[in-house]
């Protein structure tokens, strides 16, 4: 079990998130920082974010591990599960015991249990009546997410939503659509780059992603920029 969540650590994290909300900020970097913070500060094992693309379909944009990405992708494939239900209803979905989920979630249940997850929590990324995606938290223990973590997780989801919907007054639809397209396109390049690093360095996908994040942070460049360099071979790790 983690130590109790400290207020100063949360404030520091929110300050970092706020710092990213500047002109021409990288949406993927913002969302990756958010899910990494969820894993580091909350009583969760892994975290991920699903976003709505232009045609209205959900896509996995960021995750803290390959295992969480696979669980989220399985829900999208089956078009059911806590994340999909959260998006459809715009309501929080808590799953304290994945093994006891309804039969309609059989594919999600099997995938989650296979990856070692025992409970889940999905939070809508919503501003008033508009839901653009979900923040998904996976735990390797059964039980409800603690009250303080629920509050913090909702705040993280709100920050992500504000970040994506951040725009100038008369260009809302255009800006939102462009930011979502950019985030989804960047994710494709990042997935390709993870494969490149895994193959060239002889490491797992998760280890490859960790190497990419460390390089991006230590060199103060965007994760998408690092991924693009790896894919076009102008950068090696």
List, for residues 61-80, the tens digit of each pLDDT value. Answer: 888 888 888 888 888 877 88
Query: What rounded mean pLDDT belongs to the chain?
Result: 82
Q: 66 or 97: which carries more pLDDT confidence?
A: 97
pLDDT greater than 50 at residue 170: no
Residue 1 lies in a domain: no
Confidence of residue 166 (pLDDT cuts 50, 70, 90): low
Q: What is the pLDDT of residue 164?
A: 74
Q: Over pLDDT 70: what percentage of the chain?
A: 82
Residue 5: which pLDDT band, with cuts at 50, 70 and 90?
A: very low
Domain termination residue (choose one: 134, 166, 198): 166
In a 3-state reduction of DSSP, which class is residue 22? Answer: coil
What pLDDT is recorded for position 168? 36
Q: Where would I find the H helices in the chain? A: 7-20, 27-41, 66-78, 82-89, 106-114, 147-165, 172-201, 205-218, 223-231
Q: What is the average pLDDT across 122-150?
A: 90
Q: Is residue 22 part of a domain?
A: yes
Between residues 185 and 94, the one the model is more confident about: 94
C-beta of residue 175 within 8 angstroms of C-beta of residue 167 = yes
* Whether the predicted model's global pTM rises above the 0.85 cut: no
**Domain C-terminal end among 166, 193, 217:** 166
Same structural domain for residues 159 and 175?
A: no
Task: Kindly state whether residues 152 and 178 are assigned to the same domain.
Answer: no
Q: Report the SS3 class of residue 136.
A: strand
Residue 19 pLDDT = 64
Judge whether 145 and 43 are in contact, CB under 8 Å: yes
CA distances from 41 to 5, 16, 115, 125, 175 (A): 6, 14, 21, 19, 31
Name which of 57-61, 113-117, 142-146, 172-176 the model is least confident about: 172-176
The answer on pLDDT for 161 being more than 70 is: yes
Nearest to 213 by CA among 199, 225, 196: 225
Quick one: pLDDT band at residue 167, thresholds 50, 70, 90? very low
Q: 41 and 152 in contact (C-beta within 8 Å)?
A: yes
| Domain coverage including residue 216 | 170-237
Residue 178's CATH number: 1.10.10.10
Domain boundary among 144, 166, 188: 166
CATH of the domain at 162: 3.30.450.40
Q: What does the pLDDT read at residue 80?
A: 85
Q: What's the full length of the chain, in residues?
A: 237
Task: Report the pLDDT averaged over residues 45-57.
Answer: 82
Q: Are residues 149 and 175 in the same domain?
A: no
């Amino acid at each position: 079990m983690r130590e109790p969540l400290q207020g100063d650590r949360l404030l520091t994290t929110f300050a970092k998130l706020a710092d990213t909300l500047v002109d021409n900020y990288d949406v993927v970097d913002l969302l990756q920082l958010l899910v990494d913070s969820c894993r580091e500060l909350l009583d969760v094992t892994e975290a991920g974010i699903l976003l709505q693309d232009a045609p209205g379909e959900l896509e996995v944009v960021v995750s803290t591990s390959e295992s969480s990405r696979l669980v989220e992708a399985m829900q999208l494939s089956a078009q059911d599960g806590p994340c999909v239900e959260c998006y459809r209803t715009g309501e929080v979905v808590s799953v304290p015991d994945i093994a006891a989920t309804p039969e309609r979630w059989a594919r999600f249940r099997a995938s989650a249990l296979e990856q070692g997850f025992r409970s889940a929590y999905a939070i809508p990324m919503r501003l008033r009546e508009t839901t653009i995606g979900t923040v998904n938290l996976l735990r390797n223990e059964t039980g409800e997410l603690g009250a303080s973590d629920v509050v913090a997780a909702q705040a993280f989801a709100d920050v992500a939503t504000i970040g994506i919907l951040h725009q100038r007054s008369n260009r809302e639809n255009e800006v939102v659509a462009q930011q979502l397209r950019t985030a989804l396109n960047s994710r494709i390049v990042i997935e390709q780059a993870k494969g490149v690093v895994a193959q060239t360095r002889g490491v797992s996908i998760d280890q490859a992603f960790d190497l990419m994040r460390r390089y991006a942070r230590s060199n103060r460049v965007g994760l998408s920029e690092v991924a693009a360099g790896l894919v076009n071979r102008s950068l090696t790790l």
